[in-house]
A and B are shown apart, each in its own frame.
Chain A
Amino acid sequence: MFEMTPTIMRNFIGKRATRRYPYVVRPAFENARGVIYNDIRSCTFCGVCAAKCPSQCITVDKKAATWSCNPSACVYCGVCAESCLSGSLQQKCDYRKPVQEKEVIFLRGEINNNHNIPMAMKNE
């Protein structure tokens, strides 16, 4: 009994061992690998992210200037954001919120920007 007493007293006086979660949320670490964000205005649709993705969750259509990502298939390795040539693809430090239905992120860019015009269309 006397062995336990100091532990019990320490637990009475000491602070809580756990966080009161829904009310107190730990801020994410600075370089935590969270959701992927694509700034479609500066995206060149080069397709490097889609080629490098190990889970093949990104699809890029250069002709139609579309970029889509299936966040449920994403493994948050961060390779796409690291290899993005135009710097439009970024990885934020916040985690993805839970969802009830799986949905695909579908983004359409403008083709009329000079640098966005796919080579094939330029020739036409």
Chain B
Amino acid sequence: MSKTIIPFGPQHPVLPEPVHLKLTLEDEVITEAIPAFGFVHRGLEKLAEIRDFHQMIYVVERICGICSMIHAMCYCQGIEELMGIEVPPRARFLRVIWSELHRIHSHLLWLGLFADSFGFESLFMQCWKIREKILDIDEATTGNRIIISVCVIGGMRKDISPEHVNWILSELKDVEREIKRLETTIMTDYTVMKRTVGKGVLTGKQAYELGLVGPTLRASGIAQDMRMLGYAAFNEINFEPVVETDGDCYARCKVRFRETLQSIDLIRQAIAKLPEGELAVKAKGRPEGEVISRVEQPRGEVFYYIKANGKKNLERLRVRTPTFANVPALLAMLPGMWLSDVPVIVLSIDPCISCTER
């Protein structure tokens, strides 16, 4: 049978961001997929040479337009480790609250896009409708909807007032109720099951060997989550990673759906334990040395390498984002699948291309 090569992307209705896949097909079955990146490279790592290490917080936050706060938190953690700063307990709990709010809205965004990838438009609308409440919480507490700019070296810039705490809890109750209303649709609907069950299966061994991270890895039965490291205040709240064993698109969808509900629970725990006290300690001096900082993003583990030499600017800043680690999964999952399943499988790793290319 002759081979056909089909370009998928960089502009494709199902892709939220530009990535190119060169698909080799035999009849309608994929035999090979080769990705190509480089459409949204902005050179943000290089900016570390001309912006000082305080200004870089706002630059790294703009690496991702969805989980921005978690990038800033990871960067601040690294610099704090270099400078030997201990973050006040209240700031650590606030970091948990805002990072989990980001996880909820990122997962809801993904659930919507995933529903859209198999043409379930009304589910897409419902997910994004719920997400709006989370963005309102972000805006009311910090001032911005997504790029909230609350992390500083040594703590946090903003606080959550007691009135806001009560309001957040009541909003979260609504959000939880509305997410649970979608549960039967997402978990049992014929359309969802037909398009996701058994598609793009990865065994636990394969997933581990490919070096996958985040929900893509956890859906294959491996309980690996950076939150288990106990950064911020995760060591003081009860946390168990969500794991599924099937390793297909449906399992990945289930992991993210359950994580959304888990994040609501984590926020409640953090709010219940939120201690009083100062928000930030003053960062004196300049960082020196090299450090690796890791946190869990909605898409998986993000990894920051920071090298500083006691000057205003950092010598090197390197970011390894979760999508970069998850792209090999695509190359293993796509061969043998039908062309019509490509959108669902590509979206099942939750690709964030602007993160990957920076």
Binding site for B on A (CB under 8 A): 17, 29-33, 52-55, 75-79, 82, 93
Neighbouring B residues of A33 by C-beta, 8 Å = 143-144, 149
B11 contacts A by Cβ under 8 Å: no
Question: Which B positions have Cβ atoms within 8 angstroms of A?
Answer: 51, 54-59, 62, 129, 136, 139-140, 142-144, 147, 149, 157
| Cα separation A76 to B68 with both chains bound (whole Å) | 14
* Complexed CA–CA distance, A64 and B136 (Å): 42
Q: Is the CB–CB distance between B58 and A54 below 8 Å?
A: yes
* Residues of chain B lying within 8 A (CB to CB) of residue A31: 140, 142-143
In the bound complex, do residue B139 and residue A77 qualify as a contact, i.e. CB atoms below 8 Å apart?
no
Partner of A76, one of B55, B136, B144: B144
Question: Looking across the interface, which residue of chain A has its beta carbon closest to that of B47?
Answer: A54
CB distance from B60 to the nearest CB of A (A): 10
A interface majority secondary structure: loop
CA distance A98 to B157 in the complex (A): 28
In the complex, chain B residues whose CB is within 8 Å of the CB of A17? 129
Q: Could you tell me if B59 and A54 are in contact, using CB atoms closer than 8 angstroms? A: yes
With contacts A54-B51, A54-B55 taken as known, whether A75 is within 8 angstroms of B143 at the C-beta atoms is no
User: Most chain-B Cβ atoms within 10 A of its Cβ — which of A31, A75, A77?
Assistant: A77
Expressed in whole angstroms, the minimum distance between the Cβ of A32 and any Cβ of chain B is: 5
Q: Given the complex of chains A and B, what is the CA–CA distance between A65 and B58 in angstroms?
A: 28
Given A52-B55, A54-B51, A82-B157, are A32 and B62 also a contact pair (CB < 8 Å)? Answer: no
Known contacts A17-B129, A54-B51, A82-B157, A29 near B59 by CB under 8 Å: no
Q: Are B58 and A79 in contact (CB under 8 A)?
A: yes
Q: Return chain A residues, CB-CB under 8 Å to B62.
A: 75
Q: With the chains together, A80 CA to B62 CA distance in Å?
A: 18
Partner of A78, one of B129, B139, B140, B149: B149
Chain A residues within 8 Å of B144, by CB: 32-33, 76
Subset of 26 A-B contacts with CB under 8 Å: A17-B129, A29-B139, A29-B143, A30-B140, A31-B140, A31-B142, A31-B143, A32-B139, A32-B144, A33-B144, A33-B149, A52-B54, A54-B51, A54-B55, A54-B56, A54-B57, A54-B59, A75-B62, A75-B147, A76-B144, A77-B149, A78-B143, A78-B149, A79-B149, A82-B157, A93-B143
Q: Shortest CB–CB separation between residue B45 and chain A, in angstroms?
A: 15
List chain A residues, Cβ under 8 A from B142. 31
A77-B58 contact, Cβ under 8 Å, with A54-B51, A82-B157: yes
**A52–B56 CA distance with the chains assembled, in angstroms:** 11
Question: Given A77-B149, A93-B143, 7 other A-B contacts at CB below 8 A?
Answer: A17-B129, A31-B140, A33-B144, A54-B57, A55-B58, A75-B147, A79-B149
- The docked-state distance in angstroms from the alpha carbon of A67 to that of B59 is 24
Cβ 8 A contact of B143, one of A32, A53, A54, A55: A32
Instruction: Tell whether, in the assembled complex, residue B149 and residue A29 are in contact, meaning their CB atoms are under 8 Å apart.
Output: no
Alpha-carbon gap, A17 to B128, bound state (A) = 12
Q: A29–B140 contact, CB under 8 A? A: yes
Chain B minimum-CB-distance residue to A34: B143
Residues of B within 8 A of A76 (CB): 144
Residues of chain B within 8 A of A32, CB atoms compared: 139, 143-144
Cα-based distance from A93 to B129 in the complex (angstroms): 24
A44 to chain B, nearest CB (A): 22
Least Cβ–Cβ distance between A17 and chain B, in angstroms:
7
CA distance A93 to B56 in the complex (A): 25
Chain A residue at minimum C-beta to C-beta distance from B145: A32
Give Cα distance in the complex from A55 to B56, angstroms: 10
